[in-house]
Amino acid sequence: MNFAVLSNWTILASTVFLTIATFTAAAILIADGPLLKARQISRLFIYFATGLLTVGLVSRGIAAGRAPWGNMYEYAIAGALSVLVVYILILRFNDLSSLSVFALMPVVLALGLAQTVLYVDAGPLVPALKSGWLVIHVSAAIIAGGGFTVGFTLTSTQLAVGWKPESKFAKKMPSVEKLDVLAYRVSAWAFAVWTFAVLAGAIWAESAWGRFWGWDPKETWALITWIFYAAYLHARVTVGWRGGKAAILSSIGYVSYIFNFFGVNIFFVGLHSYGGL
């Protein structure tokens, strides 16, 4: 079996199903009245697409003979899967179906960019990445990114609802208080995983390059992201920030995370450049 071809087709199929799920979720949000059947169908599409994406990522790893996150294409695919898994887990305990369109949009965008701009054929790693720390460091960053993305979905929705609380849109969303609490919990969990990823990266850097920290662009922006989220969590716990101020600070942290993923690879040259476009 050609696992590279299987990976490409299952990832494409997953993108199609997620696109359908996104439009379905948007239609549900726009429509009036209860649409339980449509919500159930949308969820089924999400579950099925997540399964397909998992098969695609595993097949990519088999085709490459390594962990499937050695370049930006694979990181984008794995990151999209992480977002879906985090969102599905939250859906099991909270009725957030009204947020599905906003949670799915960044996933569809990431998958579209991965397949049209970032794609590279499956192949071996460059020597610098041939380490067990690749699995530990990068997988932790991917998992944290899934949490940050879902957290951003919650905070951006919180800002929109708080801006016009009497609007038709706001009345279909969870309350500002619920969004605020969920965003905090998800972001706190993701921050802990991100902290582990940064520490694991430092240990790997010492093993590979002989120093724990060298202010490489990727390292620097990972630290900036960490600082913004640390400030958000600190302000919320100790100063008592709630609502808009906390949501804005958290959103700035997410912008920093996205720039660390895309912008650093595009605009800077450093020791992490082998993971570029």
Q: What's the token pair of residue 271?
A: 């020791």
* pTM confidence score: 0.92
Q: What's the token pair of residue 20?
A: 């359908």
Most confidently predicted of 97-101, 129-133, 222-226: 222-226
In tens, the pLDDT along 70-110 reads 889 999 999 999 999 999 999 888 878 888 899 999 999 99
Return the pLDDT at 269. 62
Sequence-distant (≥ 6) Cβ neighbours of residue 7 within 8 angstroms = 56, 57, 59, 60, 63, 122
- Of all helices (H) and strands (E), which one includes residue 229? helix 217-234
Most confidently predicted of 27-31, 68-72, 207-211: 68-72
Q: How far apart are CA 5 and CA 9, in angstroms?
A: 6
- 19-44 mean pLDDT: 79
Give, as one character, the DSSP assignment of residue 274: G
Do 124 and 187 touch, CB atoms closer than 8 A? no
Q: Output the DSSP codes for 172-197.
A: HSPPHHHHHHHHHHHHHHHHHHHHHH
Sequence-distant (≥ 6) Cβ neighbours of residue 156 within 8 angstroms = 102, 247, 251
Q: At what angle do helices 100-113 and 36-64 cross, to 10 degrees?
A: 30
Return the pLDDT at 37. 65
Q: Which of 52, 260, 230, 15 is nearest to 138 (CA)?
A: 260
Neighbours of 167 (CB within 10 A): 12
Is the predicted pLDDT of residue 126 greater than 90, yes or no?
no
Is the predicted pLDDT of residue 271 greater than 80, yes or no?
no
Return the pLDDT at 127. 73
Do 54 and 82 touch, CB atoms closer than 8 A? no
Is the predicted pLDDT of residue 220 greater than 60, yes or no?
yes
In tens, the pLDDT along 174-195 reads 888 899 999 999 999 999 999 9
What percentage of the chain exceeds 90 in pLDDT? 57
Return the pLDDT at 144. 98
Lowest mean pLDDT among 23-37, 109-123, 169-183: 23-37
Sequence-distant (≥ 6) Cβ neighbours of residue 89 within 8 angstroms = none
Is the predicted pLDDT of residue 273 greater than 90, yes or no?
no
Return the pLDDT at 268. 62
Do 143 and 82 touch, CB atoms closer than 8 A? yes
- 250-256 mean pLDDT: 95
Is the predicted pLDDT of residue 111 greater than 60, yes or no?
yes
Spell out the domains of the chain, with CATH numbers in brackets.
1-124 (1.20.120), 143-277 (no CATH)
220 or 265: which leads in pLDDT: 220
